[in-house]
Chains A and B, each alone.
Chain A
Amino acid sequence: MIKQFWSCFIIMLALSGCGWDGTPTRNNDFIPLTSIEITAVYQTIAAKTSTKLTVTGNFSGLFTRDITDQATWASNDTTVAKFVNASVPSRVSGLIPGNAVLTATVGGVSSTFNLTVSNATITTVTVTPAAPSISKGLSTQFSASGTFSDLSIQDLTFDATWASTDPSKATVSDAVASKGLVQTIAEGTSTISATFDNVIGSTLLTVTAPALQSIAVSTTNSSVLSLSGATFKAIGSYSDGTTPDITALVTWSSSSTGVATIAAGGTAKALSQGTTTITASLGGINGTSSLKVTGGNLTGITLSAANITPVNGNMNLVKDIVVHMTATGTFSNGSTTYTRDITGAVVWSTNDTALATVVAPGGNLAWLTPLAVTSAAKVTATSGSVSETINLIVTAPTLQSVAISPTSINLVVGTSAPLTVKGTFSNGTSTTTQDVTFNSTWSSNTAAASVGNTGLAKGVVSGDSAGSAAIIAAYGGKTSTAATVTVVTRTLESLALNAITFSATVGNQVAFTATANYSDKTSQIVTEDTVWEIDKPSVAILADSVNQPGQVVGVDSGSATLKASFGGKIQTVTITVP
């Protein structure tokens, strides 16, 4: 009971509020304004020039505040000095030499300012910045300074008339609100001039190539599994408003190279669990993006070969027979262990390429070919400091026969199924068998079915049209008996997956199955023939679209949709990664 009370009390405290601690934005105009003070840049100005006045209000001695924008202005002698610009009411212009008393009034409180208008005449006008180089697309405020006959110097930015000799390269504003503001248009040069009382000052402006102002770094995979990759893209924002792809131009770096490394071109490789900041740099401008690596750290590698069982760490192989190798990684985040296929992420090697070679053509594929009779060959898969080696015992027995399996299959048009072929070898005293599927030459005798003859597709039979076909495999001068393939046409009614929603854990591989349901109430598993897609690779990815269709690995917390397409039918699964 008491626990329940404390629970309620804590909820109550959480629901209750604290006081406001924001920053006030309102001026205190409740305190009466008691006096004002007028200040100006120049107490004395030359005739035909102007100066801006500022009014500072004193509120009952408690505080002061700039209230220029609230003042109304008057001059006691408008032939000497006058407020001529309605858009800049606090700027007073000297008309003829003499003295004028200027008055500002705010809320009934007034103050005066004695302005002297001299008879000094302009001698030179200087425009700054001098001979500037400005990148295309940028705007820069220019200033004009006048030196007068009495050697006084006065800012004439407001009073001068501004012009550009080549407005196609750069323009300069002569509007009251933006006098002297230069906007660069195109690469080249233009002379910017300020004219006051027929005296001209100028500077040569060089408009240079657009300057890089910022870099936006993006990736489609902000979270990736360790030992996988992510591609980053850099978009530059230039001073002329263009935003080209500068991925190839920037220098890429990772703040934590133990978590991930990144190479030129923006290709990152995730090494261990953690978070790193990926930076793209060019000309002193940096752009960053975060990369989170999940799925634990690699602790071990297990090597295996399709249809071959290692004995005491040794793999017995027949010379020249290609073997499909797989490397399975064991990962740990300290509390949880994960396993997933890392065949494509490890570095494959053999101790002697004259004895055996391994080719990794991409994806999670690796092909081992024993080239010589030996018991000294070794195959190693390495990732960082973790590696695994398996010994090869290679013999060269004589091929006796080849046998296809299964010997008959039924297919629906548009589906496929794998066939395998095993060779029986003899060394004179004993016989042995080995899968020779990937070494064999496959053929079909009719157009009803075709059979793959390259890479992983070797031996995979596809139903192309209704009818039957005989599939044979040939290797080493031996030809198998035919496998009979019967292909029928059925009307696909629906596609079903083995789950509608699924909760996948980070780093673990989950296999989905797609089943085609036909109008004659038959069904067939079509996982291998289905096109699998996933919409959020930062949440979950396909393990390998070629080698392991329908297999998904959770990457990071979130929800993603797995889409399966077959024969014009689409089915989806919502995958939640907690």
Chain B
Amino acid sequence: MNLAIRDIRYHRGRFILTSIGLGLLLGVVISMGGIYRGLFADALAILNSTKADIWVVQQNTNGPFAESSRIPEDITYRIRSVPGVSEASPLSFQTIQIDKGAKPFRFFLIGYDLNGFGGPPEIISGRGIGQKHYEMVVAASMGMAIGEKIHLGLHDYTVVGITGKVVSSGGDPVAYVTLADAQDIQFKKDNDAIRNDRERIGANLDALQSLSPGQAKYLKQNMSAITESTHTVNTIVARLAPGANLPEVQARINRWNHFRPLSVEEQTKILTKGMIEKARMQLGLFRAILLVISAVIIALIIYTSTLDKIKVIATLKLIGSQNRVIVGMILQQSLLMGIIAYGIGYGLILLTYEKFPRRIVLEDVDLQVLFIIVIIICTISSFVGIRKALKVEPAEALGG
């Protein structure tokens, strides 16, 4: 006869409520693990979807995901000519926050060359960008419909396609426009600002006594063209030809002194170690604390449940019950509580994880490891109850 099951059956209300409480706690632990994996997946989403082998960024910087990186767009042509590079494409990144309705609306804008790569990894509805200007593809999580317009910089942009779950390392949904549009949005000044800049440059040139009026006029015209140029990008991504040697290609680009060619491995390290390490440690600490809390709660529940059964245990001992019957009852109850609570927690997260504001990634290995930890916690927690039970004297069954 399984005494653990009989006890649970009799006290099912209490057992179910306890398991639900514990299940909610384990659900939080599972979600924390999912958030960590989600952070990881988010951080690498653009890196992975771009499918580049090399990220060329401004020298002495860690690239556009970590800090400001600006390089001239025309470097693309030089990179394409490096032996071992099969294709190269410029990319522009910027985080944009606008007011949509009454709420702030934040997203990550990527500008890409229509003839290159680095654009939307997939189109789940609508179409890709077909025109050079004023069209955009947005991530589904932006909640925009095809045909919807959004005002960015100096122009309106129309949503022509929806892509899947691509987010920035900060978890913001991603939108794609052409490189030219992205540069316009990022760098193009309005007419007042342009006139103001021209006047300021002109005044500076006029102040230079060494220039003749003709030279000053000539310089004014060209300096304005230079300062109004928007042909700057944040990175140039490159793919290697089959059989090309990555370190060799990196070494060639390094020789130019102005750029830093990051491999995918280096870029991954920057994104994961540098940017989400603290968040990872924070989540890990939270998980550990919650698991300790779970262990304490389970131990407390099992201990009080054992105290409730002192007379039962004493009676069982008095009628000659083996210790394994009593130990089995306590251990099985503890394990059943852990398993049911784990099931409740897992079910809860399975039903709700898509509604979390940040991505939750449930990895089988994490779930399996947590399940084993829960089993270990339940086993260890039951020791306090078992210790108490083994100390109960059969004589305690006697008396009123």
A joins B in a complex: no
